[in-house]
Amino acid sequence: MAASSSSSNYYNRNGGVSFNSSTSSLKGSNITNNNGTKVTSSASFKRKSSLRRSSTGSIPAGSATGKDSSGGVRGRVRVAVRLRPRNAEEVVADTDLPDCVELQPELKRLKLRRNNWDSDTFEFDEVLTEFASQKRVYEVVAKPVVESVLDGYNGTVMAYGQTGTGKTYTLGRLGEEDTSARGIMVRALEDILAEISPENDSVSISYLQLYMETVQDLLHPANDNISIVEDPKTGDVSVPGATLVEVKDQKSFVELLCLGEAHRFAANTKLNTESSRSHAILMVHVKRSVKGKDSALSVENGSASHMTKILKPPVVRRAKLVVVDLAGSERIDKSGSEGHTLEEAKSINLSLSALGKCINALAENSPHVPVRDSKLTRLLRDSFGGTARTSLVVTIGPSPRHRGETASTIMFGQRAMKVENMLKIKEEFDYKSLSRRLDIQLDKLIAENERQQKAFQDEIERIASEAQKHITEVESNYAAALEKEILKFQTQYLESTQKLEEQTVKDQEQFGKGKVDVAQKDATIDKMSGGQSATLLAEINEVKKLLQDETLLRKAAEEEISSLRNQLTQWKRLEASKNSEILKLHKMLEDESHEKAKLEEEIAVLQSQLLKLSFEADESRRRLENGAKLSGDLDSLIPQANLQSSRDLGDGASMAKLFEQVGLQKILSLLEADDADVRIHAVKVVANLAAEESNQERIVEAGGLTSLLMLLRSSDDETIHRVAAGAIANLAMNETNQELIVSQGGINLLSTTAAHANDPQTLRMVAGAIANLCGNDKLRMKLRGEGGIKALLGMVSCRHPDVLAQVARGIANFAKCESRAFTQGNMMGRSLLIEDGALPWIVQNANNEASPIRRHIELALCHLAQHEVNAKDMISARALWELVRISRDCSRDDIRNLAYKTLTSSPNFQAELKCLRIDYG
């Protein structure tokens, strides 16, 4: 049939092309009509079939884009047309009729036949023949959009066309049997998952259908009336009520698509045996991290300038890929719709009509775009005239019987090519990630400061020990030397005095004897006569000579005595000087004592400052745990902390300097302080340190574990009990520490604490500590014998979910130890848990709503069931039904497989199932 002049003008206004006879010609983007005039298309048709990725995240130049003053990038909607091959019905019915369309893919041109001698010509961005592969369609239509999504832009891929022309085949074909038949959805997710980093990035999907103007969740069919929310500031459209599932691999994504397709509405019509009766919308949310450089901030501290490294919050790009499989447009008389199917067709045609009106308004730059006429147009608000990069594939059939529907589909694509979007990157700061990094950095600083404090304290003790040792050695040396000299001088003095006295006595004896001899000689001379006088005179002279010799000897002895007296005086002076040196040493010792006292005073001041710091750290950690929001300028967080610490210290010292002066021994000594507040702050600091595995060994070596157990034994403060139990729970993660806790009576102390505790958080800490001990095979009997299992079961009366989760974990750990003991032949009787009455509570909570409780209880049941001696008790307690449920419905593969293996390998369970006529195995 021939087109009238009015229809020709209509197509010129709305499609950007003009119809002419079969001799019409196209040159570039100018098309000549019947009257010889040239009509210029609003968009260039010479585009590359594929786009190159941009390393800067901008849209490639091949997409007809341009920069905008607001920082966005202009991008026209790209349209491709795909021809479906003839189906079996058309091969029979249209044997003598030629196809209504003729494709020229090399020129990206399509001719729509009016009659045997006249046709209309259209140009698209891509023209895909009936022989085009699914891979070719994906690379031409969707791959440029997927690449833009990975760069941070929103993107939309949509299929439009008559019912039965292959929209669902193009978009949603899974290709489970033939991978080459995979559609755009599967291939797009494959490319996205290949490009992202599993550690830093994430991909999540929602799968919806718009049925009878109602948004329904295909992944959760019970959610059948989802509202559409629009941000009044940005105009972004979202569906917060839809199920959002994170995707890790291609297999899980295909399973989700299968689940969604099973819930999608379809019906049998004359045009298609599986005609979609709803619009399917797949939303893929991509979050990618963009690594940035850290900055440095100069902070003045007194006269010195320090550079403090401040971490910038990481930049995150959030993009959304929307894949829309529209329901097919149809005529009632051709589809043969009746009853409810007729109502479905009316709803589909109304929504598609509203979409066509919006695209007409956008193509003509109309001031009003009727977006709110349909929920479909509201959902696609960002795709046409918004900020998303959009690619449209229109599907047509070759049958001349449906020429009217084919022409309408082609004109829809022509008008869509005139719509321009303003593409913008979706970037934001990841403050949560920065908060986690700051927490890690703070913990590292605390650990480093603790190490420096310990080194400083050790250095002080070493210097004091060396000084005391040196003083002791000097005193000992001087005392020994002085005593030796005094003894030497006394011995010499006594010897000299004795010699002198002996010599004096001897001289006196010789002198008296000489006088007697002279008197005797004189008498003899008087008696003797003349002849002997000469002999006597000679003798007298000799005696005189002897007397003179004796006199000389006496003078020499007196001189020697005088010399000895001088030496004694010198020795006394030397003794006085030695005494003076000893006094100096005593004075030095007193000075050292005063210096030591000053150091002890400084340590006391540092302990007080440590208490202030621990209080501030506890307050900061509490604010972070309660989800307090960070301040607007996170880059100033660390400088503010340093400034506050400077105010607290009063001398401008930094936090690091404060930690350098406090050691672990001093912190542990505060656990025995008389002030209750000091003990509370000290135990909180120890608990925070015990949370780091690197600190646990040092805490135990320094006696911290003994001090914590002593606090449980001696203190009546429940706050101290709660924090001390938490610290013991952290230390109990190490196997060596577990044995120390048990050897020091820790099980009895924890049981007693649980019996007197009223606060659920205290019970949670105690249950966590006992649960850690339950995982040690060596402590199984001691734990039960000292009342640990009974204490654990006694805490279930609290009914707090956190306490129950720790109790369930402890039971699972104990059951696992029993399972290992049974396997190794170290256990023959039935389970100690069953003997202590834990089985009814385990069965009651096997299907608990809280997933942590349920997961641990399911694992405990599986381990108990592996011991054949427990089978009869478990059957009578109805635990067998829970095992069957776990083997079928458990969300974790390992627990589900363990339950199945246990059921199939147990003769007692198999016999009971057989009696119940349940075929299992």
Q: Which has the higher per-residue pLDDT, 113 or 321?
A: 321
Check whether 166 is labelled as a binding-site residue: yes
Mean pLDDT of the region 436-465: 86
Tell me if 163 is assigned to a ligand binding site.
Answer: yes
**pLDDT attached to residue 131:** 92
In this prediction, what percent of the chain has a pLDDT beyond 90? Answer: 20
pLDDT exceeds 80 at position 277: no
CA 184 – CA 181 distance, rounded (Å): 10
Residue with more model confidence, 25 or 685: 685
**Comparing 809 with 512, which gets the higher pLDDT?**
809
837 marked as part of a ligand binding site: no
Query: Helix or strand or coil: residue 42?
Result: coil
pLDDT band at 639 (very low <50, low <70, confident <90, very high): very low
**In which band, very low, low, confident or very high, does the pLDDT at 407 lie, cut at 50, 70 and 90?**
very high
Using the predicted structure, report yes or no on whether residue 18 has a pLDDT greater than 60: no
Q: Can you give the three-state secondary structure of 214-257, one letter per residue?
A: EEEECCCCCCCCECCEECCCCCCEECCCCCCEECCCHHHHHHHH
Residue 414 pLDDT = 94
φ and ψ at 169, to 5 degrees?
Answer: -60, -40
Q: Which of 6-20, 273-287, 377-391, 432-446 has the lowest mean pLDDT?
A: 6-20
pLDDT number for residue 258: 92
User: Is 162 assigned to a binding site?
Assistant: yes
Closest CA to 408 of 157, 120, 128, 21: 120
pLDDT at 279: 92
pLDDT tier at 205 (50, 70, 90 boundaries)? very high
What DSSP designation does 300 have? E
Q: Which residue has the higher pLDDT, 13 or 804?
A: 804
Residue 370 backbone phi and psi in degrees, to 5: -75, 70
168 is in an annotated binding site: yes
The reply, when asked if residue 164 is annotated as ligand binding, is: yes
Instruction: Give the C-alpha separation, 612 to 655, whole Å.
Output: 11
Looking at residue 434, its pLDDT comes to 63
DSSP states along 713-757: HH---HHHHHHHHHHHHHHTTSHHHHHHHHHTTHHHHHHHHHHH-
Name the pLDDT band for 271 (thresholds 50, 70, 90). Answer: low
* pLDDT of the residue at 527: 60
Which helix (H) or strand (E) element contains residue 40?
A: strand 38-40
Residue type, 426: K
Range with the lowest mean pLDDT among 19-33, 120-134, 798-812? 19-33
**Residue 906 pLDDT more than 50?**
yes
In whole angstroms, what is the distance from residue 504 CA to residue 885 CA?
125
* Mean pLDDT for the stretch of residues 199-223: 91
Higher pLDDT, 890 or 47: 890
Name, in order, each residue with C-beta under 8 angstroms of 498's C-beta and a sequence gap of 6 or more: none
Confidence grade of residue 607 (pLDDT, cut at 50, 70, 90): low
pLDDT band at 478 (very low <50, low <70, confident <90, very high): confident
Q: What is the pLDDT of residue 156?
A: 95
Confidence of residue 851 (pLDDT cuts 50, 70, 90): confident
Confidence of residue 410 (pLDDT cuts 50, 70, 90): very high
Residue 204 pLDDT > 90: yes
Least confident of 64-68, 314-318, 417-421: 64-68
| Average pLDDT rounded to a whole number, residues 750-775 | 90
Strands (E), 814-863: none
Q: Could you tell me the pLDDT band of residue 272, with boundaries at 50, 70 and 90?
A: low
Banded model confidence at residue 598, pLDDT cuts 50, 70, 90: confident
pLDDT at 505 over 60: yes
pLDDT at residue 626 is higher than 60: no
Average pLDDT over residues 790-818: 90
Helices of type H across 417-532: 431-527
Of the two residues 676 and 209, the one the predictor is more confident about is 209
Query: What number is the average pLDDT over the span 568-585?
Result: 85
Q: Please say if the pLDDT value at position 609 is more than 80.
A: no
At residue 88, does pLDDT exceed 90? no
